[in-house]
Structure 1
Amino acid sequence: MLAHEPAIRLGASLGLLILLLALERLIPWRRDRPLGIRRWPGNVGLAVAGALLLRALMPAAAIGAAFWAEARGIGLLPALGAPGWLAVPLSVILLDLLIYWQHRVTHAVPLLWRLHRVHHADPELDATSALRFHPLEILLSMALKAAAVVALGAPPVAVLAFEVLLNGTALFNHAAIRLPPRLERALRLVLVTPDMHRTHHSEVPAETDSCFGFCLPWWDRLFGSYRAAPAAGAGVVIGIANWREAGRQGFFALLAQPFRRG
């Protein structure tokens, strides 16, 4: 299975992306989407550029770091003699905690925010918004994950499970779908839901700086960054005021955005 890791990740992500885009037509969160699919080339283009940059500079990525550490017996979990049944779920949970704090830091450090702002500058939300990260941010995030994987001595299968889970939940919680309220409340106990994550994409700064989780919802509650919903409710305005124009949503404009002032 691990030998086919790139195909597993790509297949799972593409399958879920297609399913969610179909559900956005069947159970839409909003019907007023002025730009709609005109945003997709920029969003998808960033994901492709990020993947190519990783392939060029970090071809083995986080799972390669896991194999490297495993071959040498490096990391906290091997040092503690943690059995596989414990090491795998614990690695997934701790890596998700890392991504939570990484996300908070990108909002707090101005230079990192310039990169991450590309994601928040999307004036609408749908599943393709989960692909919209600047290639430099993707590279920095992968370098951090690889370092954490080595430090933990995370098993390769745990890293694969985490990457699939992270990509899948990011697609899910950016999707423009409307879940039944009872289902949404139940899911929110174990996953970051679309309604929860939309708060994070509000134009209101205090709401943007909340709900940082991508997969597990527990960290926001534990560390005081949880907000149940945006103050405007279903009328929440998505994005960043200075970056909503259609002319700023193209691939090259998004690549250049971190180097431009608002």
Structure 2
Amino acid sequence: MENEAFIRLGIFLGLFLVLAAVEALAPRRVRTQTRRRRWVTNWAFTVANTVLLRALAVALPLLAVGAAVDANAQGWGLFNLLDLPLWIEIFAAILILDLAIWAQHLITHKVPLLWRLHRVHHADVDMDVTTAIRFHPVEIGLSMLLKIGVVYLLGPAAIAVILFEIILNGTAMFNHANIRLPLWLDAIVRRVLVTPDMHRVHHSVHRHEHDSNYGFALSIWDRMFGTYIAQPAAGHDEMQVGLEWQDNRPSQLGWSMSLPFTRK
């Protein structure tokens, strides 16, 4: 537990560097904007979100992992009522938490107030590994509160929450990355995990396409609930990524931060 944050940070940075290098060497799509302009803004979101979560950790010490520790200490949650082997508990907890994040993602598209926050993520006119870290701080705060609530309901072992957070962050960077998987490999991987080609459909400028493929880690939920679209209608090379703002504004930090509070 003491080194949990450093382990997660190390894995995050290591995977980010690997995916960024692959993007540079073999990109899936041609960029429409310079990487430097977008990356400064997208990384600024991560800095702001980290500061917010650190502040929440002061006001509310029991973030997701801490909530698991507290739930176990108090005997709260489903898994504290069941006598399951640890590996089954971990597996079940990761599945349920991933489903909860899938449902949260779908809701952010359906509830207008939440969509105003989430469209900051979708406004990015290019899609690469930094798009995975481009979320408005208010959305990140709400997402953390949801995870805390789900963790208290489940009462999973802390290691299950740590593993889930690592998997969620890693797969989000992977499926936002501008990398090209061979079609045969993509077809195999997407049976279990969301691939870059699968998630790119979700970032289409067309509403009917970006209201699909909500998964971040596991691909089964979209197939199960009928929200799966295999490929974009225009093809991956010609499809337009982003929303109605197809200019430089989404790469500007001030504009992006204020987007949820604008009238349009």
**What range is the shorter-chain TM-score in?**
over 0.9
Residues 62, 70 of structure 2: 8 Å contact kept: no
Do structure 1's residue 192 and structure 2's residue 194 form an aligned pair? yes
For 1:236, the equivalent position in structure 2 comes to: 239
- Structure 2: which amino acid aligns with 1:114? R
- Structure 1: which amino acid aligns with 2:42? N
Distance apart, 1:3 and its partner CA: 1.8
Do structure 1's residue 181 and structure 2's residue 180 form an aligned pair? no
Distance 1:110 1:38 in 2: 29
- Structure 2: which amino acid aligns with 1:254? S
Distance 1:164 1:34 in 2: 30
Counterpart mapping for 1:21-32 below 5 A: 21-32=20-31
Residues 35, 246 of structure 1: 8 Å contact kept: no
Residues 189 and 167 of structure 1: CA distance in aligned 2, closer, same or farther (over 3 Å): same
SS in 2 for 1:3: coil
Distance apart, 1:60 and its partner CA: 4.1
For 1:55, the equivalent position in structure 2 comes to: 54
Do structure 1's residue 46 and structure 2's residue 45 form an aligned pair? yes
For 1:211, the equivalent position in structure 2 comes to: 213
CA RMSD of aligned residues (A): 1.1
Q: Percent identity?
A: 50
Distance apart, 1:66 and its partner CA: 0.6
SS in 1 for 2:81: helix
Distance 1:151 1:257 in 2: 34
Do structure 1's residue 226 and structure 2's residue 228 form an aligned pair? yes
Q: Which runs of 4+ in 1 moved over 6 A?
A: none
Do structure 1's residue 33 and structure 2's residue 32 form an aligned pair? yes
Counterpart mapping for 1:7-156 below 5 A: 7-58=6-57, 59-156=61-158
Residues 36, 124 of structure 1: 8 Å contact kept: no
The two structures have a TM-score, normalised by structure 2, of: 0.96
Distance apart, 1:245 and its partner CA: 2.1
Distance apart, 1:86 and its partner CA: 1.1
Distance apart, 1:247 and its partner CA: 3.1
The two structures have a TM-score, normalised by structure 1, of: 0.96
Q: Identify which range, 29-38 or 67-76, moves more after superposition.
A: 29-38
Distance 1:4 1:60 in 2: 16
Distance apart, 1:87 and its partner CA: 0.7
Q: Identify which range, 228-237 or 30-39, moves more after superposition.
A: 30-39
Distance 1:160 1:244 in 2: 37
Distance 2:123 2:83 in 1: 45
Distance 1:205 1:197 in 2: 14
Structure 1: runs of 5 or more not aligned: none
